Structure 1
Amino acid sequence: MRLTWAQPEDLLAHELVQAAAEGTDVSGVRARWVAAGGDPVPAVSGAGPVPAPPALRQLARDLLAELAATPAPPAPAEPDGWEEIVALLPSAPQLPGLPSQDAYRERVLGAWTGRAAGCLLGKPVEKVPRQGIEEILRSTGRWPLDRWFTAVGLPEDVAARWPWNRRSAPTSLEENISGMPEDDDLNYPILALLLLERHGHAFTTEDVAQLWLDHLPAGRVFTAERAAYRNILDARPVPETATHLNPFREWIGALIRTDLLGWVLPGDVRGAARLAWADARLSHTRNGLYGAMWAAALGAATTVCTSVEDVLDAADAVVPPGSRLADAVRLGRELGAACDGSEPAVREALDRLHAAYGDLHWVHVLNNAATIAFALTAGRGDFGRSVCLAVTAGWDTDSAGATVGAVVGGLLGVPGIGEQWTGPLEGRIATSLPGGEQRIADLADRTVALAASLTAEVAR
């Protein structure tokens, strides 16, 4: 049995990378692991090809415990506590006020729809690297990407070399799409909606943990969320849930959970970031936290701003300026601003992104945040162009596409997204949460109603 994101020998390989990134000297542990026959190269897909023999697995457990007992050097530019984070931030921006209720609902409906469409575009090629995505598209006559992926006309040798995401492809290729299939990138905002409906803006991280246990199937959580879920079941307290045997604590998982926490606080990027921090600290630290805060701020800004640049400027204000996430977002924006949209310019920009972050796992927060910032900037507010750039980059394609789609969809509303992208969704989202399939319009109505109740709650 290959248990992804949980086998000690796989966790150790990832922890060697994560601990080193935090400034811990891992050379001795790494040498002992390699000398015993362990593989120090992290598994790409969540688990190595075969489970380790018992003795090697036990050594992995022992070495993980040793690394956990070794404190990382102080990181004053990348704190975990809310007050320490706020002390590093610039003043919160003054954004336009809430548009009319009808206009606000159109923004929210666009954000939900755009998130689903962007996620769906990237689903078939999740885990496929950038060069594989290009070869698939060229061989099916769809390069550069400007529509859904298809298996029609795909040569057998290309399909064998770059296999689709087996779980996603049957329902996310152009010839098969009928509504938005189940995906964790949509499960989480639906879960966040329920969280706020139950607890309001004063929810605690422990409330998030309980909601996971009550509603989120353990088999539908991955990377840091799977580690945190295990820690919750082991009765470990927050924030130890984010650190114990969790080498994925700076990956993208928290970023994909928090769009809605901004949608319900239109224009309040600092408030949205505070809610995102409370959610994210269950499973993430440092830049993993900041990614969630940034995504929530993007969500809050897209409901009131009029341009992608304004949204990005507003969201910058919730990211610690000396953090690695700030550097990633800055690089993405700079490359996007210089990109004229031509194939050579896009290629050059993606080459630079991969030169900067190609050593990271494809689910890390830094490379994907840089991609999101690049796609939003270079997309210039065009929905199709923006989500296609996010997916073409070739890291966490469905998550990056979802976040980009939510931002641009919120700015444009459903009509501005275009029938090409909205029609196949059929206005519905499948989910593995209790209650099953959801209507996008119903989710938007609940979001708008929730925003009104949160405003009343704050006023009291």
Structure 2
Amino acid sequence: MTKWIGLNEIVREEIQQRKEEGCDVTGFAERLESAGMAEAQIMDVYHALMALEPSADFKYIEPSELEEIRAQRPEGPRTIVSHLDDNEWQNKFYGAWLGRSAGCALGKPLEAPAFMRGSDGRPGWHNIKLWFEGAGQWPIRHYTPSKSTAEAQYGLELALWSSLASCRDHISYMETDDDIRYTVLGLLMLEERGLDFNSWHVGKLWHRLLPFGQVFTAETQAYLNFARVTSHINGDQPDDWEKHIHWGRSYLNPYREWIGAQIRVDGYAYGAAGQPQLAAELAWRDASFSHVKNGIYGAMFCAAMIAAAFVESDVKRIVEIGLSEIPQHSRLAEDIALAVQIAENTTDQLELVEKIWDAFKHYHCVHTNNNAALCAAALIYSGGDFEKGITTAVLGGWDTDCNGATVGSILGASLGAAALPDTWIAPLNDTLYAEVSGFHPIAISECARRSHNVFRKLQQ
């Protein structure tokens, strides 16, 4: 059914997804097991799952449409007045791109099962600590070393097949990664269409520039579903496109509240710098192609934080602004509030990541909620310190490169390029390889210049 798993596994994930959405899924695991490998019987289980309604005692209010989301959000600034001159703006955009790249590169080699999910009874953060200790590089002060005695002693392995060029002993540029490709795509969307785009245009852009091998989980399913829809359509967006959106993002897509949309927002948020409401709306347009509910909220939350960070230096305030763009009675808002509380009452980095892991380990390692909570906690703990922010976000485990990239983007935008530590920035050599036409390679400073131009164009 996808490039890596079959129908049975999709429906197994759907059982968990429906449970998290507040539905009573009692007996469905047994029904799926009884279905064996018979496709028709598995699909019967699937359709029964999708017909479920949340229990009457489900306390959350979680719409997926923009106006309904806005009706459920708390008060917020929506736009933030700034008095930056053009040089200061350019420094901020360069900082955002550099910060995202540095955080992503730090976490990229650790995007492997033992660090994301844990192993042998150890949580992921503990395995990350063991790796750096085994390389004589603890505490984390530089990029991930490619060798460690933890490999032989604990059976830990990095994701070197996809990330050797991000390791401390090899790094000389930002290598290709989905977290960076989506930032490029957000920039391209705003360059090509400005504010005139919706989920249809997202699908068309993906099909034009993203090979199937570069999409994962929710994005894979939405990519396939969009292909099914467009195979019956010739030409431009159909008048009834809105009728297709929910099917396209939901059908055989149990990953619709996972982290995918959250990592796609930076390019949009840069264009909406200083305007958290606009950034959240642009994130919604993109996220609604493949996600629902908390999957969308994670994108809106992070986009609003990034946009706010260009003109706001208080990390607590940045998180509050992010929360002001999502439903206040959602699971994500509740989880973020808990993460902030943990961070505000914890002064030790290891204690912090342990508490965050224990509080949110019931989620899949690439779910939106646990990763967004970790990002919020890392920001609060950092106090605005770039190194503390990205190392805490990555040390926490789960989706290590995504979280490092998001926190790096926010702190990079807030601090500006000139204030970022040379230890993290110099190894990148101002170079990005994105595996997108025109961006392989490209100077990171050129990406920042183009984001600044888009920002000015949207202002007009």
- Cα distance in structure 2, aligned partners of 1:153 and 1:271: 45
Report the CA distance between 1:306 and its aligned residue: 2.4
Where do residues 8-407 of structure 1 align in structure 2 (5 Å cutoff)? 8-35=7-34, 55-56=37-38, 59-72=41-54, 77-93=61-77, 95-127=80-112, 128=115, 129-158=124-153, 161-235=155-229, 237-340=244-347, 345-407=348-410
- Cα distance in structure 2, aligned partners of 1:309 and 1:190: 28
Instruction: Deviation per CA, 1:228-264: give whole Å up to 9, x if none.
Output: 0011111172122111000011111001001222221
**TM-score, normalised on structure 1?**
0.90
Structure 2: which 5+ runs fail to align? 116-123, 231-243
Instruction: Deviation per CA, 1:2-56: give whole Å up to 9, x if none.
Output: 932x42122112111101111222222211223456xxxxxxxxxxxxxxxxx35
- Cα distance in structure 1, aligned partners of 2:252 and 2:160: 28
Q: Contact conserved, 2:99 with 2:405, CA < 8 A, in 1?
A: yes
- Cα distance in structure 2, aligned partners of 1:266 and 1:446: 13
Q: Contact conserved, 2:8 with 2:32, CA < 8 A, in 1?
A: no
- Cα distance in structure 1, aligned partners of 2:83 and 2:197: 24
Partner of 1:45: none
SS state at 2:15 partner:
helix
- Cα distance in structure 1, aligned partners of 2:327 and 2:143: 36
- Cα distance in structure 2, aligned partners of 1:191 and 1:181: 16
Q: Contact conserved, 1:391 with 1:397, CA < 8 A, in 2?
A: yes
Q: Contact conserved, 2:306 with 2:409, CA < 8 A, in 1?
A: yes
Q: Using a 3 Å threshold, how does the CA distance of structure 1 residues 451 and 169 change in structure 2: closer, same or farther?
A: closer
Deviates more, 1:397-406 or 1:325-334: 325-334
- Cα distance in structure 1, aligned partners of 2:452 and 2:284: 22
- After TM superposition, the runs of 4+ consecutive aligned structure 1 residues lying more than 6 A away are none
Deviates more, 1:362-371 or 1:436-445: 436-445
Does 2:445 correspond to 1:441?
A: yes
Report the CA distance between 1:73 and its aligned residue: 5.4
Instruction: Deviation per CA, 1:199-246: give whole Å up to 9, x if none.
Output: 111211101111011111111011110110011111172122111000
SS state at 2:252 partner:
coil
- Cα distance in structure 2, aligned partners of 1:276 and 1:314: 15
Count, aligned residues:
433
Report the CA distance between 1:298 and its aligned residue: 1.1
Give identity over the alignment, percent. Answer: 34
Instruction: Deviation per CA, 1:338-384: give whole Å up to 9, x if none.
Output: 222xxxx3333222222221121110011001100010110111111
- Cα distance in structure 2, aligned partners of 1:190 and 1:106: 18
- Cα distance in structure 2, aligned partners of 1:332 and 1:257: 22
Q: Letter of the 2:89 partner, please give it.
A: Y
Q: Contact conserved, 1:368 with 1:395, CA < 8 A, in 2?
A: yes
- What is the alpha-carbon root mean square deviation over aligned residues? 1.9
- Cα distance in structure 2, aligned partners of 1:259 and 1:199: 17
Q: Contact conserved, 2:177 with 2:434, CA < 8 A, in 1?
A: yes
**TM-score, normalised on structure 2?**
0.90
- Cα distance in structure 2, aligned partners of 1:203 and 1:239: 17
Q: Letter of the 2:93 partner, please give it.
A: V
Q: Using a 3 Å threshold, how does the CA distance of structure 1 residues 146 and 98 change in structure 2: closer, same or farther?
A: same
Q: Using a 3 Å threshold, how does the CA distance of structure 1 residues 235 and 73 change in structure 2: closer, same or farther?
A: farther
Please point out which of 450, 453, 458 is paired with 2:457. Answer: 453
Structure 1: which 5+ runs fail to align? 38-54
SS state at 1:178 partner:
coil
- Cα distance in structure 2, aligned partners of 1:324 and 1:26: 19
Partner of 2:235: none
Report the CA distance between 1:277 and its aligned residue: 0.6
Deviates more, 1:178-187 or 1:95-104: 95-104
Q: Letter of the 2:340 partner, please give it.
A: R
Q: Letter of the 2:105 partner, please give it.
A: L
Does 2:432 correspond to 1:429?
A: yes
Instruction: Deviation per CA, 1:159-215: give whole Å up to 9, x if none.
Output: 7x2211133332111111120000000000100111111111121110111101111
- Cα distance in structure 2, aligned partners of 1:114 and 1:154: 29
Q: Contact conserved, 1:22 with 1:73, CA < 8 A, in 2?
A: no
- Cα distance in structure 2, aligned partners of 1:155 and 1:268: 45
- Cα distance in structure 1, aligned partners of 2:75 and 2:301: 15
